[in-house]
Amino acid sequence: MLAWPAPLLPTLPGTGPALRLHDTARGEVVATNPGTTARMYVCGITPYDATHLGHAATYLAFDLVNRVWRDAGHAVHHVQNVTDVDDPLLERAERDGEDWVVLGMRETALFREDMTALRVLPPDDYVGAVESIPRIVAHVETLLDEGLAYGLDDGTGDVYHDVAQAPGFGAESGYDEATMVELFAERGGDPDRPGKRNRLDPVLWRGQRPGEPSWPGPRGVAGRPGWHIECATIALATIGMGFDVQGGGSDLVFPHHEYSAVHAEALTATMTGEKLPFAQAYVHAAMIGLDGEKMSKSRGNLVFVSKLRGEGVDPMAIRLALLSGHYRTDRSWTPDLLDTARERLATWRRAGARPAGAPAAPVLQGLRERLADDLDSPGAIALVDAWAARTLAAGPDDDLEDGAPTIVGDAVDALLGVDLGPCAPGPAPDPGGEPAAPRER
């Protein structure tokens, strides 16, 4: 599957410090310690609806991770999936009377446009669930062969992972059983399904139902894969076990990231005999709300990236508005937030257009330090605000540095992903359209 084009990254003098991030599993900020190539898996979209600002904020957070690692001298192997067959996609296609494949392709294309406009660095591997089904089937067969999975006796062909045999289950989220059962029921699970050995056992393979697409499956049972085994399989096929960061929104802590890790760790132990962690750190971005509530389709309070673009809003203003809050802080989207970002962008561009400005070296060093400290984008933005104010307020007798605006502009571009060139948002979608959304159960 094709990703989107990569924006050009300016080359900055020197290198940045090691990145520190909050690991959900350990409950603290820890140093990332990649090898020559940093490896990151970020959970992607289920392409049935428009990318709203909460989802965009998540992808911007991990775009910062990518940029900070690169500035520290690492190559980055970034993997992202597309859940291009799943209940929400099939339900939307049936509701609208269209082919689910066409719907998924159209909304994935719109998601690419949103990411391109926001200057998000594309993944190196952009992998759909459908193209991964043969590998998924092989993995489910392996778990069945080893007695780690079981089929129900109700004739559906459904296969479940037996989490009682997964010693690491619960370690990533740290939730107690009652909390896990509650979240499992809210986020697509089936704790009350008759015939399961454990209420928290997740589905690996769903036998074919009338009117649903299906593929040849384990033990010859046609159907389609469960959600969590898709990401486990894609990660194993692309970056392998023990990668540096598993990323996504905070609503993926459980069940998705917990179960993806359980599946992958069981498969690795079975196939290689090694007990390796799925990821070194689990990093989660907080939620974006509107009018005091989380954005969600059920509440009908979504603000779409494509709609803002269609109204002529500069994508760099959208990016700045979302980065003005810390990635781990739940926060609200307001008109004032966007107005402030527009004013800030205009100010930065005026300062960046000057031939000389306040010294650039402290700004570059400060940006690197702030972003390396658990992606402190508000702190980084404040540094650029101060530099721009000093540059624009300077008089003829002030000691300014020739070329400083170019250096600061390159640093803002490379590290924050904000282009200080003239506004050129390019073609925008029809704001009345109903465009691609990351998975929301």
pLDDT score for 417: 98
The CB-based long-range contact list for 146-153 (8 Å cut-off, 24+ gap) reads: 146/266, 146/270, 148/266, 148/270, 149/204, 150/197, 151/219, 151/221, 152/195, 152/196, 153/195
Q: How far apart are CA 320 and CA 314, in angstroms?
A: 10
437-438/28-31 β-pairing: unpaired
Q: Is the peptide bond before 255 cis (omega within 30 degrees of 0)?
A: yes
| pLDDT higher than threshold 70 for residue 64 | yes
Q: Which amino acid is at 195?
A: G
**How many residues are there in the chain?**
441
Q: What percent of the chain has pLDDT over 90?
A: 88
Identify the DSSP state of 154: S
Query: In degrees, to the nearest 5, what angle opens at C-alpha 338 toward C-alphas 4 and 3?
Result: 5
pLDDT score for 296: 64
Average pLDDT value for residue range 374-386: 98
Q: How far apart are CA 341 and CA 348, in angstroms?
A: 10
For residues 438 and 51, is the Cβ–Cβ distance under 8 A? Answer: yes
For residues 213 and 100, is the Cβ–Cβ distance under 8 A? Answer: yes
| pLDDT higher than threshold 90 for residue 27 | yes
Closest Cα partner for 290 from 54, 108, 57?
54
What φ, ψ does residue 375 adopt, rounded to 5°?
55, 55
Q: Is 345 left (phi over 0), alpha (psi -120 to 50) or beta?
A: alpha
Q: 389-421 b/e with 16+ CB inside 10 Å = b?
A: ebbeebeeeeebeeebbbbbbbbbbbbbbbbbe
| pLDDT higher than threshold 80 for residue 426 | no
| Burial zone of 72 (CB within 10 Å; 0-12 exposed, 13-18 middle, 19+ buried) | middle
Q: 433 falls in which pLDDT band (50, 70, 90)?
A: very low
Q: 441 falls in which pLDDT band (50, 70, 90)?
A: very low
Please report, for residues 34, 72, 349, 368, 422, the alpha-carbon distance to residue 20 in angstroms, rounded to integers and kept in the order given: 11, 12, 30, 12, 33
| pLDDT higher than threshold 90 for residue 389 | yes
pTM for the full predicted model: 0.94
pLDDT score for 298: 60
Structure token pair of residue 181: 């059962």
Query: How does pLDDT run across 122-144, given as a tens digit for each residue?
Result: 999 999 999 999 999 999 999 99
Q: What percent of the chain has pLDDT over 70?
A: 94
| pLDDT higher than threshold 80 for residue 300 | no
Q: 297 falls in which pLDDT band (50, 70, 90)?
A: low
